[in-house]
């Protein structure tokens, strides 16, 4: 199995998940700044030009964070990364989707890539401000959900791996996290799989 990732990108959540599972895998760095994900070596695998991209042992390719995370959890049921009961499963996917589709794609994306939302540079500050509003509101909602819990659904799950990468981004843009989210981030960083992943990606713990 091979994970195509970029250091500190959303793919780090899948990288953590693979280390939590603990089976052998290869991690191949993709140079996004050098636009290597638009070259044939990458697009032949994933024409969407996005990480995370997972090349499985049978050569088939899986894309999209929620799909990869769900497949990894279901393929390794003994790790209990996704609840089996309908309520637990739905709650985990509810949080996973909120983090990826709203906090990341609508919030942080506006901050990191304002040009994708408004061609004129004079609008970029407004785009970034809207992004900040979205992810701050998202973190406030997640903070409520985390009240009295170590992990988003009680037990550690794939949703925590997704939450971890937006928490990491929040430190990058230097916007403080609300208390339960900040405590979750510390709890995640204390996990050996997270430490191993941060080291592998060349990021400070
Ligand atoms: N919907 C995709 C989003 C993946 C995504 O946005 N990946 C970013 C890194 S965080 C990427 O590859 N960006 C490269 C680009 O857009 O040029 C998923 O859930 O996996």
Q: How many whole angstroms from 176 Cα to the centroid of ligand 1?
A: 24
Amino acid 125: pLDDT:
97
- How many angstroms is it from 197 CA to the middle of ligand 1? 19
Query: Which residue minimizes the CA distance to atom 1 of ligand 1?
Result: 64
Note the pLDDT tens digit of each residue in 126-183.
Answer: 999 999 999 999 999 999 999 999 999 999 999 999 999 999 999 999 999 999 999 9
pLDDT score recorded for residue 204: 76
Q: Which of 193, 158, 10, 182 is nearest to 88 (CA)?
A: 158
What atom of ligand 1 comes closest to residue 10's alpha carbon?
A: 10
Whole-angstrom Cα distance, residue 152 to residue 149?
7
Neighbours of 72 (CB within 10 A): 25
- pLDDT at 168 (0 to 100): 97
Residue 202: the pLDDT is 97
- Find the length of the chain: 205
Phi-psi region of 49 (alpha: psi -120 to 50; beta: other; left: phi over 0): left
- b/e map 142-176, b = 16+ CB within 10 Å: bbebbeeeebbbeebbbbbbbbbbbbbbbeeeeee
Distance between Cα 148 and ligand 1 center (Å): 32
**What are the structural domains, with CATH classification, of the chain?**
2-79+196-200 (3.40.30.10), 86-191 (1.20.1050.10)
Using 50 as the pLDDT threshold, list the residues of the chain that sit under it. none
The reported pLDDT for the residue numbered 205 is: 60
* Confidence (pTM): 0.97
The residue nearest atom 20 of ligand 1, judged by CA position, is 64
Q: Which atom of ligand 1 is nearest to the CA of 113?
A: 16
Q: Specify the 3-state DSSP secondary structure of 199.
A: helix
Q: Which residues line ligand 1 (CB under 6 A)?
A: 9-10, 32, 37, 49-52, 64-65, 100
C-alpha torsion 170→175→178→180, nearest 10: 30
Query: What spacing in Å lies between the alpha carbon of 100 and ligand 1's midpoint?
Result: 10
Residue matched to tokens 């009961």? 85
Spatial distance between the Cα atoms of 19 and 196, rounded to a whole number of angstroms: 7
């Amino acid at each position: 199995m091979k994970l195509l990732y970029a250091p500190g990108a959303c793919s780090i959540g899948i990288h953590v998940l693979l280390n939590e599972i603990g089976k052998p895998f290869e991690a191949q760095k993709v140079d996004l700044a050098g636009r290597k994900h638009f070259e044939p070596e990458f697009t032949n695998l994933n024409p969407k030009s996005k990480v995370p991209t997972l090349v499985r042992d049978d050569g088939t390719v899986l894309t999209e964070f929620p799909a990869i995370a769900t497949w990894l959890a279901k393929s390794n049921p003994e790790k209990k990364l996704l609840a089996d009961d309908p309520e637990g499963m739905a709650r985990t996917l509810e949080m996973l989707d909120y983090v990826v589709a709203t906090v990341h794609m609508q919030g942080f994306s506006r901050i990191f890539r304002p040009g994708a939302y408004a061609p004129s540079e004079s609008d970029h500050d407004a785009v970034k401000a809207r992004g900040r509003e979205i992810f701050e509101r998202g973190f406030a909602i997640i903070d409520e959900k985390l009240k009295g819990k170590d992990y988003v659904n009680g037990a550690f799950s794939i949703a925590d791996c997704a939450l971890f990468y937006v928490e990491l981004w929040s430190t990058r843009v230097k916007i403080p996290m609300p208390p339960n989210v900040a405590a979750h981030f510390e709890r995640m960083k204390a996990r050996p799989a997270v430490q191993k992943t941060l080291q592998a990606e060349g990021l400070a713990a």
